[in-house]
Structure 1
Amino acid sequence: MAEPLWTSDEIGAATGGRVVAGPFAVSGVSIDSRSVEPGDLFVALAGARDGHEFAAGALASGAAAVLARKPVQGPHVLVEDTLGALEKLGVAARDRSPARRAAITGSVGKTSVTQAVAAGLALAGRWHSSVKSYNNHIGVPLTLARMPRDTERAVFEIGMNHADEIGPLSRFVQPDVVAITTVGPVHIENFPNGERGVALAKAEIFQGLKPGGVAVLNADNVWFDLLREEAGKVGARVRSFGTGEDADARLLAFEPADGRVRVRALVDGETLSFPLRQTGLHWGLNSLCVLLTLEAMDVSRDTALAALEGFAPLAGRGAEKTVAIPGGVFTLIDESYNANPISMEAAFRTLGARAAPGRRIVALTDMLELGEQAPSFHAGLAAPIEAADVDLVFAAGPMMKSLWDALPPTRRGGYAETAAQLAPLVASAVEPGDLVMVKGSNGSRAGVIAAALAALDHAGDKA
């Protein structure tokens, strides 16, 4: 029989809480009653609605017990503050496990890199990782609290919207290895000192790094020197990836072929050539970030390369779908989960590098949290769109109006105030052979457009 994740006595000891209607044991930890699995500990957090309102439903769905700040009907551990108790449970999970831990952040690519690292850890032994984008003040302690005691390696995604958010999360994780994918103008409206403030906020990840730990950094990024200096303050051993000769892992070529790519790189003097299922040009550097991070996690290079070869694009982050419509098919590239000036430009470069039997079409929604510079950032997308030889641009949202106004009439496919209004315009315009990319911030609902295009698929229709 599998060892439980937590016993009631262990939960009580870790949180300082009082066990009611015990003893019991749990096999998981959940904060959402809609996704509770049998055997879970349901944590009744405060939020827009009090989590205690859902405790009975969670127990009815199979939860073994509730972590609560007031009595509920059923097994529970009574604590003063459920978020504070979740944090303590996460710390206890960290301290009881011998796991080597990595923490990943960055303005672009942190979720995909985290999941690619997790794929390598999965091939190397007993592993644990963040799910979805659980990277904030709730997601990080939750991921820690879910970590089995016999875990050998674990990777955590850490995100932020403001300064002084990454530091506490890094101190929770106490990683052996940290990686910063890149730094750019993301959430910049929250930083009076601009992109430098973003870089310093990302550098907070070094605060929890164990003595002698490894920092994996992007040598091509304009903030590399600052980040290297900050890493040096905590005695980190810096490992770099980039295109320059001084990088420990140097990208030599990124060669698309038949829906896949081949990366050629020089890593510590060894020439490597390996395939990827990822077609985005940014994956040239991302793959090297993954390799260096896995190396620092004591994962063999062969295992790391096997993980990269099998790692597929995540939903909303470059996943592709061939959509059958009358007369043929078109290719949908779903980049609808997130967007900022860096990732937009990278996506356009990737699109422009691909052969398209028909037209290159982009459907874009607003990039969010760019502050006063938002109109200029959006209008500035016109240049990389032209460089990528995009045929038609569809745009939605008040900020994307700045791009729309900057486009020549020949590139204007359609504009609407919302993604929902734009979706049918794009859907009616696509033709067989088109290469169609949807990209925007999740908050501006680019996914609505991607879903509408995917729904055009007649591949499963019966004659």
Structure 2
Amino acid sequence: MKVTIYEVARVVGAKNDVTVYEDGPLNKVEFDSRLIVEGDLFVPLKGARDGHDFIPVAVENGCAITFSEKEVAAPHILVEDCLLAFQALAAYYLEKMQVQVIAVTGSNGKTTTKDMIHDILATTFVTYKTQGNYNNEIGLPYTVLHMPDNTEKLVLEMGQDHLGDIHLLSEIAKPSLAVITLFGEAHLEFFGSREQIAQGKLQIADGMPAGATLLLPNDSIGDAYLPSQQQLVRFGEGGEIYLTSLSENKTSLTFTTNFIDGAITLPVTGKYNATNAMVASYVGKCLGISDEAIKVALAQLQLTRNRTEWKKAGNGADILSDVYNANPTAMRLILETFSSIPANDNGKKIAVLADMKELGDQSVALHQKMITSLSPDSLDTLFFYGQDIEGLAQLASQMFPIGKVYFFRKNEAEDQFEELVARVLECVGAHDQVLLKGSNSMHLDQLVVALENR
């Protein structure tokens, strides 16, 4: 990190005289006192505990200086709000380092698309990206302040739980190119409608310069909130960029577009990933990456863990794990992909579906609508786990043969997870394929591990 103590104090508008301390370069910034090493800047944020309580630990670990909202017995930069100071420092640092920011948001696919854009740009530029799920008002500035000093392109993922979240992140990052992958139902509990979700996602343009390119789905849901200062490029059917062909098998897919010469192959499944890759490819084209480099990067793609991933059970069964998060769009898409894959010889097709969270008052109805994605022609056995998904389980039991639909309850009074695990382990044979999909808080990842270790 290329900043000094006095420089930081000036940027954040220090309310105290920091010249009483010796100036010097700062090593890095941390908000976890346990990660502090010699020469770091400590940012005491307020969470379950007030970070100010850990200033002594940060000092003991060697921090050069700390932000603080009160006078403390340690070298400190006195600020009104430590989080705002942290964000202001990140915005300043991006401007100082003259790094080009590419921002990605969307109800589904934003992490995968971010990974794809990173890998494409990394063929030609020194590129850094959001690590893990550091995509909020704390994670984004942390990512900015942890990028390598020689970074040329920075790919930032932007998440939203409430209206205004993306506006803040865009104003900090000021992206020169941005992508919205999908206007879906994620966090519907906090927004009320897809229109409001679209409004929030389109705030990604708020910090963009006039004339910058914004890629977005060819979906009219957000038309009332479209920015007027940016160049809009629609993707999908009827848009400016689109897929011209697509073929898919269990472990990969191949597609062509209307703007890349030749076919692109991905070592992942899911038709939605072809769209994500198409968008990432267009970003690469905008930034001067050759068609050949784009194809090579996508053929060698390395995705963030816990997204759609084929694994092997201990008994040899194939596991399609997609347990990081879930909403109706994502569940429909993965069920479509899983249902279209041919069964293994002498094998069953099994789906384990758990509650999708943060859908608000519409949750039960949205779960029940998933019945249109479940067919006994392509799926043999269904397991349902949760509370809001019970109605879907009841509908499925009317469509599927007796003994092919199981429901395990999880609510405040009861959790039948152990029974779910035991029954799935008993049901899954060596030649079977099993899909697991649900929100992260449903902990289907533990069932994945149980299958792998059986």
User: Do Structure 1 and Structure 2 share a fold, with TM-score over 0.5?
Assistant: yes
- Counterparts of 1:158-197 in structure 2 under 5 Å? 158-192=158-192, 194-197=193-196
Change (3 A) 1:144 1:312: closer
Match of 2:451 in 1: 453
> How far apart, in 1, do the equivalents of 2:355 and 2:64 lie?
43
Alpha carbons 1:419, 1:448 under 8 Å: kept:
no
Question: Which residue type is aligned with residue 9 of structure 2?
Answer: G
- Give, in angstroms, the shift of residue 151 of structure 1: 2.7
C-alpha contact (below 8 Å) 1:120/1:308 kept by paired residues: yes
Aligned CA distance change for structure 1 residues 431 and 385 (closer, same or farther; 3 Å): same
The separation in 1 between residues aligned to 2:120 and 2:65, in whole angstroms, is 33
TM-score by structure 1 length?
0.87
66 and 447 in structure 1: CA distance in 2 versus 1, 3 angstrom threshold: farther
Does the 8 Å CA contact 1:367/1:441 hold for their aligned counterparts?
yes
Q: Paired residue for 1:369? A: 358
Q: Distance in 2 between matches of 1:33 and 1:391?
A: 51
1:161-201 deviation per Cα after TM superposition (whole angstroms, max 9, x unaligned): 22222112211111111111011222222234x21111112
Moved more, 149-158 or 398-407: 149-158
Q: Which residue of 231, 234, 240 corresponds with 2:234?
A: 240
2:404 corresponds to:
411
Q: Superposed, which structure 2 residues align to 1:286-365 within 5 Å? A: 286-325=276-315, 329-357=316-344, 358-365=347-354
1:250 matches 2:247: no
Structure (1/2) with the larger strand percentage: 1
One-letter code aligned to 1:230: L
Aligned to 1:11: 8
Deviations 1:38-71 (A, max 9, x none): 6543321011101123334445556554333345
Cα distance, 1:32–1:335 mapped onto 2, change above 3 Å = farther
Residue 435 of structure 2 aligns to a residue in which SS? strand
Among the aligned pairs, what percent are the same residue? 28
Mean Cα displacement is larger for which, 272-281 or 353-362? 353-362
Which of 418, 421, 424 is residue 423 of structure 1 equivalent to?
421
* Aligned CA distance change for structure 1 residues 338 and 222 (closer, same or farther; 3 Å): farther
Letter in structure 2 aligned against 1:240: R
For 2:358 and 2:119, locate their aligned partners in 1 and report how far apart those are by CA, in whole Å. Answer: 31
User: Structure 1: which amino acid aligns with 2:221?
Assistant: W
* 1:387, distance to aligned residue in structure 2 (A): 7.1
Report the number of matched residues: 440
Are the structure 2 counterparts of residues 306 and 385 from structure 1 closer, same or farther at C-alpha, using a change threshold of 3 Å?
A: same
Q: Distance in 1 between matches of 2:448 and 2:293?
A: 34
Report the aligned-residue RMSD: 2.5
Aligned match for 2:371, one of 362, 366, 382:
382
Q: Give unmatched runs, 5+ long, in structure 2.
A: none
Q: Decide whether aligned partners of structure 1 residues 119 and 55 sit closer, same or farther in structure 2, where only a CA change above 3 A counts.
A: farther
Q: Which has the higher mean CA deviation after the structures are superposed, 67-76 or 428-437?
A: 67-76
Match of 2:201 in 1: 202
Q: Relative to 1, partners in 2 of residues 1:57 and 1:298: Cα closer, same or farther, differing over 3 Å?
A: farther
Residue 271 of structure 2 is matched in structure 1 by 281
Q: CA deviation at 1:30?
A: 2.3
Would the aligned equivalents of 2:86 and 2:141 in 1 still touch at CA under 8 Å? yes
- For residues 320 and 270 of structure 2, the distance between their equivalents in structure 1, rounded to whole angstroms, comes to 10
Other structure's SS at 1:282 match = helix
| Contact 1:101/1:153, CA 8 A, preserved across alignment | yes
